[in-house]
């Protein structure tokens, strides 16, 4: 692969043809995660890190901080945090601790027009994650993320996904383009949990207090438990359901279409109920 291709300045996802993506992934697979991040900072357009402050995201955050210090620059990649309103208190505390520790810009996005659980449940009902799981995922993750990308003009994002997390992640590449044209970088795609945890401890990276209680993958409090399978760190998520993702890495257009259809159906039912009541 020519050096010029390795170091190409990517202006948009249209520069990443299938052939270019293939070559870049072959090249990036030979690098350590920190070197992958340096490449991304140099080559990817309008780069942000999306994180819920899981262990992999924390490793990435620490590595970017080291790169920034090496270059004598402020933290080079801003963070996007999707506050679903149902995060553990420990997660929210960690977010603020990371902002202080790394002096990193943090952009927080919540469900549209609902800043509190009470407001959200007044609009959409109690335990929406049980009554309409897909709509819940769309409202607390998918729509806020899309809004963040549009408002911040995000063109590339760094994720915390790894192949060892199994499920839909088992074969993810380091570099990919999703259905919306968003460039996604998975710099630790080839690391396993032990490598992540060893880095956290060796570099004294702040981490979620729930990890010391046995948790490995931490999302909303209502759908997170300690792993039920020691070989699968995400087995504590959505226990008892055929689900491995929250919707953030699914087809955006399908998620939006399904949500709009469900919303239209609900409005029609409400309309009929109002007629009967009248």
Q: Among all chains, which residue has been given the structure tokens 């780069």?
A: 47
If pLDDT is split at 50, 70 and 90, which confidence band does 237 have? low
The one catalytic residue in 94, 104, 246, 248 is 246
Q: Is position 173 within any domain? A: yes
Quick check: 1 pLDDT over 60? no
Which of 50-59, 96-105, 240-249 has the lowest average pLDDT? 240-249
- Residue pair 49/156 in contact by the 8 Å Cβ criterion: no
Residue 35 lies in a domain: yes
Residue among 86, 109, 117, 22 nearest 222 (CA): 86
The Cα 14–Cα 176 span in angstroms is: 12
Residue 3 pLDDT more than 80? no
What is the pLDDT at residue 223? Answer: 87
Number of CB atoms found within 10 A of residue 258's CB: 17
CA 136 – CA 127 distance, rounded (Å): 9
Pairing mode, strands 183-185 and 156-158: parallel
Residue 245: its pLDDT value, please? 56
Range of the domain at 227: 3-268
For residues 137 and 182, what is the distance between their CA atoms, to the nearest angstrom?
19
Cα angle 60-86-203, degrees, rounded to a multiple of 5: 25
Q: What is the CATH number of the domain that holds 33?
A: 3.40.50.620
Reported confidence tier of residue 275, pLDDT bands at 50, 70, 90: confident
Number of other CB atoms surrounding residue 160 within 10 Å: 24
The predicted structure's pLDDT at residue 232: 62
Q: What is the pLDDT of residues 178-199, one digit of tens each?
A: 999 999 999 999 999 999 999 9
In this predicted structure, what is the pLDDT of residue 2?
55
Answer whether residue 220 is part of any domain. yes
Q: Is the pLDDT of residue 137 over 80?
A: yes
275 assigned to some structural domain: no
SS (H, E, C) the chain: CCHHHHCCCCCCHHHCCHHHHHHHHHHHCCCCHHHHHHHHHHHCCCEEEECCCCHHHHHHHHHHHHHHHHCCCCCCCCEEEECCCCECHHHHHHHHHHHHHHCCCEEEECCCCCCCHHHHHHHHCCCHHHHCHHHHHHHHHHHHHHHHHHHCCCCEEECCCCHHHCHHHCCCCCEEECCCCCEEECCCCCCCHHHHHHHHHHCCCCCCHHHHHCCCCCCEHHHECCCCECCECCCCECCCCCCCCCCCCCCHHHHHHHHHHHHHHHHHHHHHHHHHHC
How far is residue 178's CA from residue 185's CA, in Å, rounded to a whole number?
A: 11
- Please tell me the distance from the alpha carbon of residue 71 to that of residue 60, in angstroms, as a whole number: 17
Tokens of 127: 């335990």
Give how far Cα 192 sits from Cα of 27, 34, 37, 162, 195, Å.
20, 15, 18, 7, 5
Residue 189 falls inside a structural domain = yes
- Residue 276 maps to a domain: no
**Higher pLDDT residue, 143 or 257?**
143
pLDDT for position 64 = 98
Residue 6's pLDDT band (boundaries 50, 70, 90)? confident
Tell which residue, 172, 171, 187, 163, has the closest CA to residue 31: 187
pLDDT band per the 50, 70, 90 thresholds, residue 212: very high
Number of compact structural domains in the chain = 1
What pTM value is reported for the model?
0.86
**Across residues 124-153, what is the average pLDDT?**
93
How far is C-alpha 44 from the geometric centre of its chain's CA atoms? Answer: 18
43 carries an active-site annotation: no
Within a domain: residue 43?
A: yes
Short-list 221, 245, 241, CA closest to 172? 245
Where residue 251 falls among pLDDT bands split at 50, 70, 90? low
In a domain, 74, yes or no: yes
């Amino acid at each position: 692969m020519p050096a010029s291709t390795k170091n190409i300045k990517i202006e948009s996802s249209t520069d990443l043809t299938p052939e270019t993506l293939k070559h870049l992934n072959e090249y990036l697979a030979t690098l350590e995660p920190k070197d992958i991040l340096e490449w991304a900072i140099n080559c990817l357009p309008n780069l942000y890190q999306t994180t819920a402050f899981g262990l992999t995201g924390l490793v990435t955050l620490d590595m970017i901080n080291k790169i920034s210090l090496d270059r004598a620059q402020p933290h080079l990649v801003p963070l996007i945090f999707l506050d679903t309103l149902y995060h553990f208190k420990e997660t929210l505390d960690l977010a603020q601790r990371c902002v202080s520790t790394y002096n990193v810009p943090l952009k927080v996005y919540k469900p549209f027009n609902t800043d509190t659980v009470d407001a959200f449940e007044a609009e959409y009902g109690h335990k929406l994650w049980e009554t309409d799981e897909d709509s819940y995922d769309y409202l607390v993750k998918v729509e806020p993320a899309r809004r963040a990308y549009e408002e911040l003009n995000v063109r590339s994002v760094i994720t915390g996904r790894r192949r060892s997390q199994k499920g839909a992640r088992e074969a993810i590449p380091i570099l990919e383009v999703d259905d919306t044209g968003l460039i996604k970088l998975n710099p630790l795609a080839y690391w396993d949990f032990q490598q992540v945890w060893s880095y956290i401890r060796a570099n004294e990276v702040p981490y979620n207090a729930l990890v010391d209680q046995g948790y490995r993958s931490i999302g909303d409090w209502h759908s997170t438990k300690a792993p039920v399978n020691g070989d699968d760190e995400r087995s504590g998520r959505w226990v008892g359901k055929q689900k491995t993702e929250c919707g953030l890495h699914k087809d955006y257009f399908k998620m939006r279409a399904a949500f709009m259809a469900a919303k239209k159906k609900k409005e029609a039912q409400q309309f009929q109920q109002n007629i009967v009541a009248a």
